[in-house]
Structure 1
Amino acid sequence: MDKHYYYQNSVQCVEAEIDFVESTYQLIKGHPARSLREDFCGTAQTACEWVQRHPSNTAIGVDLDPLVLQWGENNNLAALAPDQLQRIELLNDDVITASTQQLDVVLAMNFSYFIFMQRSQMIAYFSSVLEALNTDGVLFLDAFGGYEAAKELREERECDGFIYIWEQASFNPINSQMQCYIHFVLDDGTRMDKAFDYYWRLWTLPEITEMLIEAGFSSAEVYWEGTDAETGEGDGIYSKSEVGTADAGWVCYVVAEK
């Protein structure tokens, strides 16, 4: 069983992420973004999607785990055309100390930056991103919450050929730290328990936006998902918002301009 394959086919939707990054950057800056750094890049699927979008797009992926980077090289980068491969670079490095050229966009998705438990750590990360952005640079983050986010629970979802299981195994309300797992069960009954293991702090949106401003960003805006009038579910369209809905669980974007 290849846990990275199952992850990419159950958790990530890089096409939708890059659609949002492209359209939002164009809207707020008036011109397209061309350079992107994917922090906590894992298999670098998002960075690969970026270089495939336009012949002038360049991408850098940064991750501490050399094994997952190697998987990304063998599976995602190997599928790129030669000219696309020349416009992508993977760095086995710490996102806080990684040295890269200044870029249009830095993004940290799948709540990966929740790994920073203390305000000082998070502000240090945001400050390092600020330095990595050019004068028109924008940081894109996702975040999750809702009244079930601090609850111990298991959620299952049917995927093509397997079941994806998200488990919030424990939550400590005193420090907002939580233990989460991803499990996979194939249609033939084969199990991969604790395929992915996350120990995070559940940061709130006011905390995130306040720390971005403290780190030196000029703005930090929340983009909230709209609601489909017929189904009452999310419509996949995110727009800048000052009021959200008190849902059991939600995912949104945070967009911070240098």
Structure 2
Amino acid sequence: MSQKRHKHKSGTAASSADRHALYEIAVQSVETEIDFVDETFTNIRARQAGFLREDFCGTANSSCEWTRRRPSNHALGLDLSQEVLDWGIANNIKKLNKKQQQRIQLLKQNVLHYQGKPADIIIAMNFSYQLLKTRDELRGYFSRAHDGLTEDGILFIDAYGGHDSWREIKEKTKHKGFTYYWDQKKFDPITANMICHIHFKFKDGSKMKKAFTYDWRMWTLPELQEILDEAGFSKVTVYWEGTDEDSGEWDGIYSTAEHGEDEPAWIVYLTAEK
């Protein structure tokens, strides 16, 4: 993730906006995400998880949501950017009460090297693992995650695809006070490498261009399943989102699936059981 500083004309909405706060609004839905993670783990293991590790945690929004859920929940967030971790501490962790703050920890650590207390759940969301561009690198991360789980632990990741995901396109979504742009700027079909940007535009016309930049490899679902299997996981499951019968729109309900539909764009979850 790019950590560039951005200069904007003073007095504009862009000059006073916080890119991390905008990201959490436009991109994340941690309540829904943690609902899925919590309920799925319980359904698979017939027990509630207690310790969650969030890899590539960024602002640790998901870790905070996990910590709020139950007094028995603990969370650990790992990320390489001290700037982002500091933002998460100041803007997310400090909003927790004192007891909750005692049950969450953020560390500036490389997820490829971290060794610590085994977690019931490890999550790597928002496609963050796609910065690992070779099978060896990705298998190395998945193997490390496998080793970092309890004996019945589960790794959760998300993935996206569909024929629009391979195109150089820009999509926009309007939010209160700003418009979010997802810009798939460059895609190489030979290497599957892609460059993506997030931009924000405000009601006064000011813009925050390249608020975030991603240099990724687009991993396919067959590749992810194969590499997770190679990393030692005993079972890998894909969860496909259903559609509303009336509107035909995605309904936010994810169910196990062995086959999917040829949609322009989709997002799925994968679980990898130790």
Separation in 1, partners of 2:223, 2:203? 41
Q: 1:167 is matched by which residue type in structure 2?
A: D
Q: Does 1:54 align with 2:70?
A: yes
- Equivalence map 1:169-208=2 (5 Å): 169-208=185-224
Query: Once the 2 structures are TM-superposed, how far is the Cα of residue 185 of structure 1 from its aligned partner?
Result: 0.7
How many pairs were matched up? 258
1:139 alignment partner in structure 2: 155
Instruction: Report the counterpart of residue 228 of structure 1 in structure 2.
Output: 244
Q: Name the structure 1 match of 2:14.
A: none
Deviation at 1:189, TM superposition (A): 1.5
* CA distance in structure 1 between the partners assigned to 2:55 and 2:202 by the alignment: 30
Helix, strand or coil: the match of 2:115? coil
Q: What is the rounded CA distance, in whole Å, between the counterparts of 2:34 and 2:67 in structure 1? A: 11
1:112 maps to 2:128: yes
Report the 3-state secondary structure (helix = DSSP H, G, I; strand = E; otherwise coil) of the residue aligned with 1:152: coil
**TM-score scaled to structure 2, two decimals?**
0.94
Question: 1:67, CA displacement in angstroms?
Answer: 0.1
Cα offset, 1:136, TM superposition: 1.0
Aligned-pair distance for 1:188? 1.6
Letter in 1 for 2:253: I
Q: Deviations over 1:139-174 (max 9, x none)?
A: 000000000110000001001110000000010000
Q: CA deviation at 1:76?
A: 0.2
3-state DSSP of counterpart to 2:123 = strand
**AA partner of residue 176 (structure 1):** A
How far apart in 1 are the matches of 2:36 and 2:181?
Answer: 26
- Aligned pairs for 1:1-258 (under 5 A) are 1-258=17-274
User: How far is the alpha carbon of 1:43 from its aligned partner?
Assistant: 0.3
* Structure 1: segments with no counterpart, 5+ residues: none
> What is the letter of the counterpart of residue 165 of structure 1?
Y
Runs of 4+ in 1 over 6 A off after TM superposition: none
**Secondary structure of 2:48 counterpart:** coil
Q: 2:64 corresponds to which letter in structure 1?
A: C
* Structure 2 counterpart SS, 1:222: strand
Show structure 2 runs of 5+ residues with no match. Answer: 1-16
Identity of aligned residues (%): 49
SS, match of residue 126 in structure 1: helix
Q: Distance in 1 between matches of 2:128 and 2:61?
A: 15
Write the distance in 2 (CA, Å) between the matches of 1:186 and 1:72. Answer: 24
Secondary structure of the structure 2 residue equivalent to 1:246: coil
Task: Letter of the 2:143 partner, please give it.
Answer: S
State how far apart, in whole Å, the 2-side matches of 1:131 and 1:184 are: 39
Task: Indicate the SS of the match to 2:167.
Answer: coil
Shift of 1:138: 0.2
Task: Give the Å deviation of 1:253.
Answer: 0.3
Give the structure-1-normalised TM-score: 0.99
Root-mean-square deviation (CA, aligned residues, Å) is 0.5
CA offset digits 1:19-71 (Å, max 9, x no partner) = 00011001110011111000000000000000000000000000000000000
SS at match of 1:96: coil
